[in-house]
Structure 1
Amino acid sequence: MLGNLRIRERAAISLFCTVAVALVWVDALRARDVPPPAVPLLSSGETVVGERIAYPAGAPAKVTAAVVTLAPGQETGWHTHGMPVLGYVLEGELEVDYGEKGVRVYRAGEAVLEAIGVAHNGRNIGVAPMRVLAVFMGADGLKPTEPASR
C-alpha cells in the first residue's frame, strides 16, 4: 500500500512539473511578442466584377469602417462607390445584383472587394439580420456610397 501511495505521489509531482513547464513555455512565447497567425481573407488587385483597384487621388487618404445591418429582405438600394471597398460578411447571407455582371451571394465569413464603378444592389436573403463590415479606402471629401440607377 505504501508503494502505491509513493507511485501516485510521483505521478502527481510529475504531472505538476509538466504543467508548470508548459505554463513557463507559454509565458515565454508571450514575452517574445509572437503574433498570432494571420488567416488571409482575400488578396486581389481587382474588384469582384474585374475592375482594377485604383485609389482616389488629390486629397488626403481616409479609411472609414462601418458595420452595415440589413433586416431579412431589406435592400441597400442601387449604388456605386468612388473608392475601393472591402466587405466582410459577419452574419447572414447577402445577395448582390451587379446588373449585367451577374448576381453573387456572400455568406458569413466571406470577403469581397466590392465593385467600384458598377452599380449594384445588396439584399439580405436570409431569415435573420445580415451584418457586413465595410471598409472604404478613399480620400477626404469623397462619399463612400453614391445612389445609382440600374
Structure 2
Amino acid sequence: MKIINSAIYAVAILGALTVQAQADGYPAVPLLSTSKTVMDEEIAYPANGPAKINAMLVTILPGEKTVAHQHGVPLFVYVLEGEVTVDYGEHGKKVFTQGQTFMEAMAIEHVGTNVTSSPVKLLAVYLSAEGAKDVIPRQ
C-alpha cells in the first residue's frame, strides 16, 4: 500500500509540475524522459570535448534503408511523419510511428528501414561533443 501511495503522490507532483510550467507561460508538452536507450542501455554522454548539439531532419523514402550503424553519442528521435522499422539484429525489430519518441541504441548496431509507401521524416537530435562520432557506420 505504501508503494501505491508513493506512486500516486509522484504522479500528482508530476501533474502539478506540468500545470505549473504551463501556468508560468512555458507551455511545455512532455515528449520523453528517460535514462536508457530503446535497447535498455544506460545513456552515457561523450567526454571528448566541449558539448555540442547536432539536430538533423532525416528522410527515408519508401523502400530505402540506412546503412548498418551505431551511435557514439546519445540520440533523441522524434518521428514527424510515417513509420520506420529498426532492425537491432539479435535484439529484434521495433516499429516507430508518427508522434513517437525514443532514445536510439548506441552500442547495438541497427538499420532503419521504410517498408511503407510514404516517406518517413525523423527529427534526430544528437547530444554530442567536439570530436565525438554521432554515427558510426559498419566497417
TM-score class, shorter-chain normalisation, is: 0.7 to 0.9
Partner of 2:82: 92
Partner of 2:18: none
The answer to which structure has the higher helix fraction is 1
Q: Distance in 2 between matches of 1:98 and 1:57?
A: 26
Of 70, 76, 79, 2:66 maps to 76
Counterpart residue identity of residue 52, structure 1: E
Counterpart residue identity of residue 119, structure 2: P
Unaligned runs of 5+ in 2: 1-22
Of 90, 109, 119, 1:129 maps to 119
**Once the 2 structures are TM-superposed, how far is the Cα of residue 143 of structure 1 from its aligned partner?**
2.2
Counterpart residue identity of residue 42, structure 1: L
**Once the 2 structures are TM-superposed, how far is the Cα of residue 33 of structure 1 from its aligned partner?**
6.7
Partner of 1:109: 99
Alignment RMSD, CA only? 1.4
When Rg is computed on C-alpha atoms for both structures, the one with the higher figure is 1
> Structure 2 length as normaliser, TM-score?
0.80
Unaligned runs of 5+ in 1: 1-31
The share of aligned pairs that are identical, in percent, is 48
Q: Distance in 2 between matches of 1:44 and 1:35?
A: 21
How many matched pairs?
A: 117
Of 40, 45, 50, 2:40 maps to 50
Q: Distance in 1 between matches of 2:95 and 2:107?
A: 19
